Structure 1
Amino acid sequence: MSTDPAPPFRPHSSHWGVFSAAMRDGELLVRPHPGDPDPNGIIDNFPAALRHPARIAQPMVRRGWLERGPGPDDRRGRDEFVPMEWNAVLDLLAGELRRVGMRHGAGAVFGGSYGWSSAGRFHHAQSQIHRFLNAAFGGYVASVNSYSSGAASVIVPHVLGNYEDLTKNNVTWDQVAQHSEVVLAFGGMALRNAMVAGGGISEHVERGAMETARARGCEFILVGPLRGDLPEESGAEWIPGIPGTDTALMLALVHTLVAEGRHDQAFLDRYTVGWPVFARYLLGEADGQPKDADWAARITGVPAEQIRALARRLQGRRVLITVAHALQRAEHGEQPVWMGAVLAAVLGQIGLPGGGYGYALGAIGYYGRRANAVPGPTLSQGRNRHGNFIPVARIADMLLNPGTEYRYNGQTRRYPEIRLVYWAGGNPFHHHQDLNRLRQAFARVDTLVVHELAWTATARHADIILPATMTLEREDIGYSSHDPLMVAMHRIVEPFGEARDDYDIFAELSRRLRVDEVFTEGRSSREWLRHLYARTEEALRAQGAPALDFDAFWEAGSLRLPQAPDDGGPWRAFREDPDANPLPTPSGKIEIFSETVAGFGEASCPGHPAWLPPEDVPAPATPLQLIANQPATRLHSQLDFGGHSAAAKHRGREVAMLHPADAEARGIADGDIIRLFNARGACLAAARVSPDIRPGVVQLPTGAWYDPENPEEDRPLCVHGNPNVLTRDVGTSALAQGCTGQLTVVEVERFTGNLPPIRAFEPPSAKPEA
């Protein structure tokens, strides 16, 4: 037993929760924030991850790049690495940045980052890399939108207005608990999603809000293939429709409401435009096919009478329609987002407390919460004077097809020719689809630079790898726009090996490129924290609210911020007076038919919501639909080697769920190792046989680190269970070009061969330069 005094627990934060941590006898101890009513177990990934062998201890350079110089190379991802000293590798990288900048300009540099690397607002990798590239090159080729909401973030501004207001400043969980009578959740509101929030979260309230609402008599109805997409506390009724058919079901609900005179025509007349055009389509006057319950039953697998009965239950009650991000991560993903708003408008509930349209409520932890009344400490990224961009999910298209035209949001654009990809924060071998195609894409560039704390598949494909610190190894300020607790994130432990903060790496590079005054402004990391905090302190003092100076805040460990009232935001104001408070759409109203979208002329996204049959449907060779959704034991792929994530695997593999009927037909028992496959690739997983999934569907969460059995092959077997070897790399439509990684088709079989070992967390071969 240790005789050391009890270690001091110091405050810290993560995207999955505020917590405190301490080191004792070389072991990391973590405990959740005491005010959190429903703490997230993902914080338990930290102890095992902190000093895991998967961590990168020193700078590395891929041998082929070092020996042959920059250029396309299909050895990326299967080459060995050469360790280098920091000064040598920074000199080497600075030289390559100068070469690309002088020969090809900012338009040949892609700044890759996905923003989820740290809850701290200063050591926010996306801000750091973009600030550096703006300083070094005057700009870079950027990405826009996200893998999570790529379709929604493009269609919403055209037809509903401000995306941030729709998701963040609309219906709150308090309103659900107090006012909602029916919550009709298309795709559910899975707690695994709401457990995380950019910038950190101190109180997980979703489970409690649903439990309170249910006790009051609120009915929760889940439409989706997975029973677990609403928690037990909701007592949800489950309608297990066919994945990807929600738009057809919504159309049939609206058809029943209109055909039986149960819709709110007065609301449609005052608050929307385009209803007559849409109604002609709905009633079949435009195409000869009424979108009634009988029509929808054939598409959705939900009986027609059940559809009609559901529609009748909605009339005259405080109904909240929610649509999960998952629904728009598929072909024609714009349609369920738009159609969900139409269903809410037909019911006339938009703008009422606990009613209307809560798009993506439950999809992320800061949706459904009150906004903070003061600004937070955010780092300016500077100005990107180059201005070129791609939709984020089109990275492989860009690298494989330079100069090719594509459509996006009504524009005809052209993919740039990228010579250098610089990535800090994020793992595209988690987020992207068709990973074998992504491997081909990364083989095309001259140089791939990665800042990373561990040997992810992205790091293994890099030419220059710079070891970055983990959040526990640096100081920062945790802040979310919709969580009242701002956290002084103390350093808990010294950096692993030779790891450095992203800021320190970029500061050294900017000095070599003679742009350090632009990038650092002469400040150290601690001086930046003090500078950024001042913005919040000044805003607090201006409001007459309690305000600590920086030193007092740092000593206290946290500061509770005032929040805006729960007044329904712009949507409530719009309902109360649509003339004085119009929506930021062309008409100022909800656009059921959009002249703008129709004017783009895209067959894949017409001028009103419509049922557009997908191309990727079950067939004899691939009879099952695969759902590749978010994991419950980690954020995306972060810390997959942590204890909480590892404990949920079976025999080291990710777990795939399938229905007993599908398992029996294939001779699969619970716990068996199975092979999932289609024309794009194959992976292994462990089988979980459960009735809580619709027959004909298999579910495998994303985030297991890509682990090819034989990287020399074009389509190697992933032995760990990464579903993105199976998903399609195509856009949602020509409008948004969003990610379609939620759904694809596969076959599944029991794996009977010799079980390959898992090497995802083993460092690659590294040998000193000869």
Structure 2
Amino acid sequence: MSTTGIPHSSHWGAFRADPTADGVRVRAHPDDPAPSALLRNVAVAATPTARVLRPHVRRGWWEDGPGPDERRGRDEFLPVEWDELLDRVAGEYARVLGEHGPRAVYAGSYGWASAGRFHHSQSQLHRFSHCLGGAVRSTWTYSHNVGEVLMPRVVGSQEPLISPTAWTSVEAATDLVIALGGLPAKNSEVASGGITRHEVAGRLRSARARGAEFVLVSPLRDDLAAELDADWFAVVPGSDAALLLAMCHVLLTDGSFDAGFLERFTAGSEEFLASLRGADDGVEKTPEWAEPLTGIAAGRIRDLARRAVRGRTMITVSWSVARTRFGEQPLWAAVALAAMIGQIGLPGGGFGHGYASTGGVGKRAGTYPLPTFPQFADPLRVRIPVARIADALLHPGEPYEVDGRHETYPHLRLVHWAGGNPFHHHQDLQRLQRAFRAAETIVVHEPFWTSTARHADVVFAATTTLEREDVGAARYDDRLIAMGRVHEPLGEARDDYEVLSGLAHRLGAGERFTEGRTAGEWVEHLYEEWRTGPAARAGITAPPHAEFLAAGEFRLPPEPREKVMFASFRADPDRFPLRTPSGRIELHSETIAGFGYDDCPGHPVWLAPEEQPDEEFPLRLVANNPATRLHSQLDHGATSQAGKVAGREPVRMHARDAAARGLADGQVVVLRSRRGSCLGGLVVSDAVREGVVQMSTGSWFDPVAGAAAGVTCGYGNVNVLTRDVGSSRLSQACTGQHATVQVSAFEGVPPRVTIFDQPA
């Protein structure tokens, strides 16, 4: 690594930073073949823009005490002293724990705030809550909740998510890649914990140069790079399962499926194949049946199925395809199609879930632990699905079902959030506002005045990653980065550890939480504990901490030999069975069938989403991840702001749809759904299927500018439009990828965006 500048890391790349009079100057890691443009967002974090510079409280909570409050999100904030606020919050913790117990506390967090191993907000908050008897926590992720629940039921583990067949295998052996949801370069720029080398685009180019062919199944043509010359199947959003089932039907009726593979390696194939013939509903799942559902001609579907069995085929399903209503079905159907092709366990063949959804999927994964801040055992062990937080706040005590269990939502009175922004991740933001107003106390750690901060009662002024020292590491990367402090904390900001230490001491748990160490001492301790423990046992000779700091990084051993998912299982399924009831891939699961879920039966089926285009909302919305930032992070950064259109989040629409509404490129438009409305800047594009509009998530929620415009959000947060309902009773996962909307011109002068201003 370059010896000038301060080494640091982010989820979108390692870099060196130089403090300047205007903030910081960032240079990508010299070994990175394709650095991310998201690095240009980093500089704004070192400026006071939108920063929480000292701790604040909401006036109503400070003066009137805790309780549900309709003023939350509208009230003014008061700056207060750290000790006074820590005393008050510790007292609120003592009240809630004393009167209601730990089931009344929600330790909410999402670990994207920092790429560091110590300053990982989720770990910090969970350790703190475990010192106090526990708290209710979330389980699974907004990104791939469906796969986290479904894959263990179908293939016995989360291996397709965590460690699928390596890119090197695809690059060398695959003849045909069928990419449902695409392989978008923008998503592959990011990896949790950091990414030193961005390699996905290069791997894909290499595969194409060797002769691999690509098929893109997506309503968005640029979900796969143009240089790959993909065959574009501009599918109707949400119809992927119908396409896959029709392809399975072709192989069945042609007799070209691998019957031997199904017999030896799968369970329930008889039930699944019978369903293709119409055993469930009397309808054969032919390409002609699928054509009106998918918008893809029957002949093209039939041809694609036949192409899939001519050579080595990899079927990849992006996380986004499953982030929909009944999202279990396309993922399960892709497994079934791969099984019928019979190449699961072969180099470059089979299926994967999430290739290019992040830059880490398909890369090396060390078999040894990384430096990790210990969290202690959770004494409470109460979890709710991550995407059901609004349900829990709005409906305490109500029953729900998930993954075969009958559960009850706890009555959450104190919500403590660090390192995440639910007003980005969650859907139907007006409903989330109502949910936040139902709590008694909401405490957040925030560097910026996001809408999460503005809907809280207590806002602890948090440092950014640039203001901390840490060890950057990711299980998919080959470097440990000595993350140096780039600049001193702005204003009175403190890191999560210092805030939680202050609370823990006031609540009698300080010694257990801190073990007598400062943050800097913890960082050194975690590194040395790793160096002399897991690293040494794995045969890795890492330098002492002082030498690590001087070098700025430590390079881990080369990636292991080529990884092929389920290779051992294919070689000997009796000796290496899967962790399913049958030990095989379950094309029909008796377990899931036994749950009796009509929204997720025992084998993959086609289930039409309840929300369909109509006269009022005739367009299908695709709400995908942004290309100009990670989630909502640093939306006021240079790259993110350069991507805005007319000062708003871009919304893309086909030229014929725009012409039918009298809309022009660059115009400010209004998007409306059954749940809310927002402004956007129009981009007319032939890369979007007709009848579809695309708008990325992550613009900060600005209800103030929205009120001035007569809409829910005046800046372009697409999650005011999306639906807050679980994918099914099996996974209860996020369904924020799709909605139905109408788009019209905004009349008048667009209001000024206010979300980056300091609040009243």
Work out the CA distance in 1 between the residues paired with 2:42 and 2:592: 46
For residue 581 of structure 1, what is the aligned residue in structure 2?
Answer: 576
For residue 123 of structure 2, what is the aligned residue in structure 1?
Answer: 127
The 8 Å contact of residues 168 and 562 in structure 2, kept in 1 or not, is answered as no
Work out the CA distance in 2 between the residues paired with 1:180 and 1:559: 33
For residue 756 of structure 1, what is the aligned residue in structure 2?
Answer: 751
The answer to whether residue 235 in structure 2 is matched with residue 258 in structure 1 is no
Q: How does 1:650-729 map to 2 (within 5 A)?
A: 650-709=645-704, 716-729=711-724
1:566 Cα shift? 3.2
The 8 Å contact of residues 387 and 732 in structure 2, kept in 1 or not, is answered as yes
Q: Name which of 627, 644, 650 aligns with 1:649.
A: 644
Work out the CA distance in 2 between the residues paired with 1:48 and 1:390: 35
Work out the CA distance in 2 between the residues paired with 1:583 and 1:558: 38
The 8 Å contact of residues 370 and 566 in structure 1, kept in 2 or not, is answered as no
Structure 2: any 5+ residue segments left out of the alignment?
none
Q: How does 1:340-351 map to 2 (within 5 A)?
A: 340-351=334-345
Q: Secondary structure at the match of 2:145?
A: coil
Work out the CA distance in 1 between the residues paired with 2:67 and 2:59: 13
Work out the CA distance in 1 between the residues paired with 2:49 and 2:351: 47
Deviates more, 1:710-719 or 1:499-508: 710-719
Q: Secondary structure at the match of 2:127?
A: helix
Q: Give the AA of the match of 1:73.
A: D
Work out the CA distance in 1 between the residues paired with 2:710 and 2:244: 39
Q: Give the AA of the match of 1:242.
A: V
Work out the CA distance in 1 between the residues paired with 2:538 and 2:188: 31
Q: Name which of 385, 388, 391 aligns with 2:385.
A: 391
1:710 Cα shift? 6.4
1:706 Cα shift? 0.3
Provide, for residues 510-542 of structure 1, a one-character-per-residue CA deviation record: whole Å limited to 9, x for no partner: 111110111111111122112211243123333
Q: Name which of 622, 628, 633 aligns with 2:617.
A: 622
Q: How does 1:253-652 map to 2 (within 5 A)?
A: 253-538=247-532, 539-563=534-558, 565-568=560-563, 571-652=566-647
Between Structure 1 and Structure 2, how many residues are aligned? 758
Q: Secondary structure at the match of 2:704?
A: coil
Provide, for residues 21-76 of structure 1, a one-character-per-residue CA deviation record: whole Å limited to 9, x for no partner: 01133431101111111111111101123214200000001001111000110111
Q: Give the AA of the match of 1:733.
A: S
Work out the CA distance in 2 between the residues paired with 1:134 and 1:354: 44
Q: Name which of 152, 168, 178 aligns with 2:162.
A: 168
1:646 Cα shift? 0.7
Q: Secondary structure at the match of 1:674?
A: strand
Deviates more, 1:240-249 or 1:716-725: 716-725
TM-score (norm 1): 0.97
Structure 1: any 5+ residue segments left out of the alignment?
1-5, 766-770
Q: Give the AA of the match of 1:113.
A: S
The 8 Å contact of residues 373 and 563 in structure 1, kept in 2 or not, is answered as no
TM-score (norm 2): 0.98
Work out the CA distance in 1 between the residues paired with 2:45 and 2:267: 53
Q: Name which of 109, 117, 135 aligns with 1:113.
A: 109
Q: Name which of 189, 192, 217 aligns with 2:186.
A: 192
Work out the CA distance in 2 between the residues paired with 1:640 and 1:26: 18
The answer to whether residue 75 in structure 2 is matched with residue 68 in structure 1 is no
Work out the CA distance in 2 between the residues paired with 1:647 and 1:537: 42
The answer to whether residue 61 in structure 2 is matched with residue 58 in structure 1 is no
Provide, for residues 655-685 of structure 1, a one-character-per-residue CA deviation record: whole Å limited to 9, x for no partner: 0000001000000010000000022110000
Deviates more, 1:746-755 or 1:419-428: 746-755
Structure 1 residues 621 and 26: alpha-carbon distance in aligned structure 2, compared to 1, 3 A threshold: closer
1:573 Cα shift? 1.0
The 8 Å contact of residues 678 and 712 in structure 2, kept in 1 or not, is answered as yes
Q: Secondary structure at the match of 1:634?
A: coil
The 8 Å contact of residues 177 and 212 in structure 1, kept in 2 or not, is answered as yes
Work out the CA distance in 2 between the residues paired with 1:417 and 1:428: 19
For residue 13 of structure 2, what is the aligned residue in structure 1?
Answer: 17
Q: Secondary structure at the match of 1:397?
A: helix
Q: Give the AA of the match of 1:291.
A: K
1:752 Cα shift? 1.4
For residue 88 of structure 1, what is the aligned residue in structure 2?
Answer: 84
The 8 Å contact of residues 428 and 719 in structure 2, kept in 1 or not, is answered as yes
1:753 Cα shift? 2.1
Deviates more, 1:537-546 or 1:97-106: 537-546
Q: Give the AA of the match of 2:447.
A: L
Deviates more, 1:714-723 or 1:744-753: 714-723
Work out the CA distance in 1 between the residues paired with 2:551 and 2:308: 49
The 8 Å contact of residues 21 and 31 in structure 1, kept in 2 or not, is answered as yes
1:715 Cα shift? 8.8
The 8 Å contact of residues 49 and 643 in structure 1, kept in 2 or not, is answered as no
Provide, for residues 676-699 of structure 1, a one-character-per-residue CA deviation record: whole Å limited to 9, x for no partner: 002211000000000001000000
Deviates more, 1:566-575 or 1:661-670: 566-575
The 8 Å contact of residues 187 and 223 in structure 1, kept in 2 or not, is answered as yes
1:320 Cα shift? 0.2
Q: Secondary structure at the match of 1:338?
A: helix
Work out the CA distance in 2 between the residues paired with 1:681 and 1:27: 37
1:754 Cα shift? 2.4
Q: Secondary structure at the match of 1:126?
A: helix
Work out the CA distance in 2 between the residues paired with 1:192 and 1:711: 28
Work out the CA distance in 1 between the residues paired with 2:612 and 2:280: 26
Q: Secondary structure at the match of 2:69?
A: coil
1:384 Cα shift? 1.6
Provide, for residues 338-368 of structure 1, a one-character-per-residue CA deviation record: whole Å limited to 9, x for no partner: 1111111111111111111111111112110
The 8 Å contact of residues 629 and 699 in structure 1, kept in 2 or not, is answered as yes
Q: Give the AA of the match of 2:54.
A: Q
Work out the CA distance in 1 between the residues paired with 2:229 and 2:565: 31
Work out the CA distance in 2 between the residues paired with 1:143 and 1:751: 39
The 8 Å contact of residues 574 and 582 in structure 1, kept in 2 or not, is answered as yes
For residue 229 of structure 1, what is the aligned residue in structure 2?
Answer: 223
The 8 Å contact of residues 77 and 711 in structure 1, kept in 2 or not, is answered as no
Work out the CA distance in 1 between the residues paired with 2:495 and 2:52: 13
Q: Secondary structure at the match of 1:686?
A: strand
The 8 Å contact of residues 70 and 437 in structure 2, kept in 1 or not, is answered as yes
Q: Give the AA of the match of 1:404.
A: E
The answer to whether residue 204 in structure 2 is matched with residue 210 in structure 1 is yes
Structure 1 residues 569 and 183: alpha-carbon distance in aligned structure 2, compared to 1, 3 A threshold: closer
Moved over 4 A (4+): 710-716
Deviates more, 1:448-457 or 1:707-716: 707-716
Q: Give the AA of the match of 1:629.
A: N
Report sequence identity in percent: 49
1:546 Cα shift? 3.0
1:701 Cα shift? 0.2
1:462 Cα shift? 0.6
1:564 Cα shift? 5.2
1:569 Cα shift? 5.2
The 8 Å contact of residues 169 and 562 in structure 2, kept in 1 or not, is answered as no
For residue 741 of structure 1, what is the aligned residue in structure 2?
Answer: 736
Q: Secondary structure at the match of 2:353?
A: coil
Q: Secondary structure at the match of 2:305?
A: helix
The 8 Å contact of residues 487 and 558 in structure 1, kept in 2 or not, is answered as yes
Provide, for residues 629-669 of structure 1, a one-character-per-residue CA deviation record: whole Å limited to 9, x for no partner: 00011110011111111111022100000000100000001
Q: Secondary structure at the match of 1:243?
A: coil
Work out the CA distance in 1 between the residues paired with 2:686 and 2:652: 9
